Structure formats: structure tokens, C-alpha cells
């Protein structure tokens, strides 16, 4: 997987225009309550094949979302780390992992293309390996947090684990 999806995001946008898709630039749909069907990007990573399915169904409206990794995400994670119930060495390890990911700030870490058909969301999602690492760090922070149940998930991020 590429460490930066900026070039691919631009390529996808150009393809959508060239093929006369109607593009709705919305937020991530990965946490929608609508039943989802995920495209197998491991076996079929070509977004054009996914979009061809929409065309064959007679659909032209697609949702397009990209996620950029920002300094704010790191700052929020470091704030949350301060509240964690971890030993000194564990905190240092997590802090090191968080700070190592700063080299990716400003880069596209995830791309989502989706369309709706018969009350289902069909979703094509690509994520960088380092973004998966980021989500692992967030999961560890959440697990080590001060047991406040009922709080919203950290930073609007999600994990497919």
C-alpha cells in the first residue's frame, strides 16, 4: 500500500469527471447505520472496477471522501495519552509511536468511494499502512483510557479490526 494516497485521489477525481459521475463530497460513510457491503480491495484494488458496478446498475451519484492526517490528530492523541492509566514505559512507547507518525501530517491517509443501491451502501475504501498503525495506537489509547463509558469515539476515527 502506498504511504500517500494524494496522487491516487487526484486520479480518481479526474476519472469521475471524465466518466460523468455526479460526485457528492461528503464525510466518511464507514460508520453509517445503513447496511454496508465492502469492496475487496485486497483482491481487486482497481477503483474503476468498483465504479463500473455503479454504472452497470445505472447509478451516477457516488460519494467521495478523502481523509488527511493533520497535526490536530497527533495533539489530541497526546492529550488523551496524558489521561491514560498506563505505566511510564508504556506511555513512552505510545508517545514515541504517535510522534513517529508526524512525518505523515498533511498527507491523504484514506480514500472512500461509495454508492447506494437497494438500501445498502457499497463502499470502496483504501487506507495507508501507516493509517492502520495510527488506528492501532488509537485503539490502545481508548483501551487504556480512564473508563468513561458512553463517550464518543476519539477524534471521529474508526477501526475495521
pLDDT tens string 122-157: 999 999 999 999 999 999 898 887 765 444 444 555
Whole-model pTM: value is 0.79
**Positions in the chain short of pLDDT 50:** 1, 149-154, 159, 161
**Burial of 94: CB neighbours in 10 Å, binned 0-12, 13-18, 19+:** buried
pLDDT score of 147: 61
Q: Give the helix ranges, DSSP H, for the chain.
A: 6-18, 47-56, 71-83, 88-100, 129-144
Identify which of 109, 15, 111, 19 has the alpha carbon closest to the alpha carbon of residue 63: 111
In degrees rounded to 5, what are phi and psi of residue 99? Answer: -70, -30
Domain ranges of the chain: 6-145
Task: Return the pLDDT at 67.
Answer: 94
Length of the chain: 161
Q: How far apart are CA 70 and CA 104, in angstroms?
A: 8
- Residue 2: the pLDDT is 55
Question: Residue 63's closest CA among 40, 98, 30, 19?
Answer: 30
* CB within 8 Å of 1: residues ≥ 6 apart: 126, 127, 128, 129
Amino acid at each position: 500500500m502506498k504511504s500517500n494516497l494524494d496522487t491516487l485521489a487526484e486520479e480518481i477525481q479526474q476519472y469521475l469527471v471524465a466518466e460523468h459521475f455526479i460526485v457528492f463530497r461528503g464525510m466518511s460513510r464507514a460508520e453509517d447505520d445503513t447496511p454496508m457491503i465492502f469492496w475487496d480491495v485486497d483482491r481487486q484494488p482497481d477503483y474503476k472496477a468498483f465504479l463500473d458496478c455503479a454504472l452497470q446498475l445505472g447509478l451516477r451519484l457516488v460519494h467521495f471522501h478523502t481523509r488527511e492526517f493533520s497535526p490536530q490528530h497527533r495533539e489530541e492523541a497526546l492529550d488523551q495519552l496524558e489521561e491514560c492509566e498506563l505505566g511510564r514505559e508504556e506511555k513512552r512507547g505510545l508517545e514515541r509511536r504517535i510522534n513517529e507518525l508526524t512525518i505523515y501530517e498533511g498527507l491523504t491517509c484514506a480514500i472512500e468511494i461509495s454508492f447506494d443501491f437497494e438500501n445498502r451502501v457499497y463502499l470502496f475504501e483504501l487506507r495507508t499502512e501507516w493509517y492502520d498503525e495510527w488506528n492501532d495506537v488509537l485503539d490502545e489509547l481508548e483501551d487504556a483510557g480512564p473508563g468513561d463509558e458512553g463517550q464518543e469515539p476519539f477524534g471521529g476515527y474508526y477501526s475495521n479490526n
